[in-house]
Structure 1
């Protein structure tokens, strides 16, 4: 199946051999990217008019409760974008199939795509990989959970959203010392912005920084005379201090994230033979940050 996006109006067309019939109702269409290597995170889609040869995602359904999205994926057709396509002037049952002529047909310039068979050639067909939908600064990241080939030849994907929303709770700044609010807020914002949008190593690093900021300012409020040392401390000793204060949940979460962060260093991997943090580890780090906020009572 072919998909076409008219150059001037953005109207979508489709067809088995050519995108010559307008789609009704008009679908939601976005650029998309399968993350196959760490370098792909730095190659986000630029937008239709900046690069029309990117893959395209056509949404068929979205469940706001489960955050599951289903749709068809297309790849660029040919090397020329936009391309000239002959379409029906009046795509009614009486006119479909008629010989191309000026009375019944017209020619439009459109960005043209075809079913994304390239996705089927990816190892394991991309299952479990990150899949970005959107372009520029407006992107959302999903995990590929299923791929099907339809009777029309279209490639249908089922995606599960990756999101920090609901995992990292909103900060209750009223409970935090005034001189600590800005630093804690900024650390949390960096963690939220990195969650599932950067490499696993980067996400773990930002969560480590955020947990260290939270615990450092929490302990500084309890012991003002040691505030400078607490706020500037690394996460490992802060986690140990929380354990000594019988806040085992916070302490344990902090210590695990601190250990995971060190695994992101090549020398640690070589000396101890430990694996580099992966996406599951990054997800754990994000949950650990939310857990620490809730345990301290700093979450709304």
Structure 2
């Protein structure tokens, strides 16, 4: 199938031919899309449909808020230029108010369409794009999604299943009142750095931010309960040991903190070489973000949902 978007109104048309003429109702949600291979790619999203000649579009067909998944079709620019075809002939919409002279003998009218075809170039990527990060939106605001399913429909469309990668909803909301005023700002800032890096920087960089946040959270929590200034100077592994010791016995929090520390060391090239360790992956980074959220919940620094 081919997709056409009216350059003036944003109305959407489709057809099995390369001249989309059938209005799509209800009007679907259509977003700019771009594969993110490096952090710098986030700066190349553009701000609209006419920014470049090779833009991809994602047409959403369904969204599940519980599983945080979207299904929809991916299109690529067919025209090789960002400017619309002003001679596109389309069928009028039922609610359009038109003069009799606007409609030709074929029952259609001219509309300036940007035309897109199924984005089959995605299939040329490794694993046909499975596992890649897809950004939806523009340079003003965009979200990150993991491609977890790729299909070709009977009509030749490239159908994607996407899983949300947003850290919002993964990190719980911090209850600032439970944190000593001396440390409130730096704890909040450390969590913001986790959010800013999550799924936009390299896996190792995300793990680094999670390690820093975990060390800050755990050490400041211990200080609030003991007044031990020395704990504020220790690294995460040592802080984790203290969490498991008397009188805290926060074993789950301790073990999750130790795991984050181990993941961080795996991001160092010398550690990888010396111990034969694998490089942290995107899935490891996602785990590290979840782990910081778990640590916050175990130490009871989050707002109650009730």
Normalising by structure 2, report the TM-score.
0.86
1:1-300 maps to which residues of 2 (within 5 A)? 1-17=1-17, 18-35=19-36, 37-38=37-38, 41-48=41-48, 49-51=50-52, 53-84=54-85, 85-88=87-90, 90=92, 102-104=104-106, 105-224=108-227, 226-227=228-229, 229-245=230-246, 246-300=249-303
Q: Is the 8 A contact 2:193 2:209 kept in 1?
A: yes
Q: CA deviation at 1:38?
A: 3.4
Q: Is the 8 A contact 1:67 1:161 kept in 2?
A: yes
2:170 and 2:22 map into 1 onto residues whose CA distance is 44
Instruction: Mark the runs of 5 or more structure 1 residues left unpaired by the alignment.
Output: 93-100
Instruction: Mark the runs of 5 or more structure 2 residues left unpaired by the alignment.
Output: 95-102
SS in 1 for 2:182: helix
Q: 1:40 to 1:112 in 2, by over 3 A?
A: farther
1:61 and 1:197 map into 2 onto residues whose CA distance is 25
SS in 2 for 1:72: strand
Q: Is the 8 A contact 1:55 1:76 kept in 2?
A: yes
1:192 and 1:60 map into 2 onto residues whose CA distance is 28
Q: CA deviation at 1:43?
A: 4.8
2:188 and 2:261 map into 1 onto residues whose CA distance is 20
2:189 and 2:56 map into 1 onto residues whose CA distance is 34
| 1:138-197 C-alpha deviation (Å, 9 max, x unpaired) | 222222222221222111111122232333211112211111111111111211232233
Q: CA deviation at 1:53?
A: 2.4
Q: CA deviation at 1:137?
A: 4.0
1:284 and 1:89 map into 2 onto residues whose CA distance is 50
1:256 and 1:147 map into 2 onto residues whose CA distance is 33
2:4 and 2:282 map into 1 onto residues whose CA distance is 35
SS in 2 for 1:178: coil
2:154 and 2:74 map into 1 onto residues whose CA distance is 15
Q: Is the 8 A contact 2:23 2:91 kept in 1?
A: no
Q: 1:289 to 1:91 in 2, by over 3 A?
A: closer
77-86 vs 113-122, greater mean Cα deviation: 77-86
1:43 and 1:120 map into 2 onto residues whose CA distance is 24
SS in 2 for 1:291: helix
Give the number of equivalent residue pairs.
Answer: 289
Normalising by structure 1, report the TM-score.
0.88
SS in 2 for 1:221: helix
Q: Is the 8 A contact 1:41 1:198 kept in 2?
A: no
SS in 1 for 2:183: helix
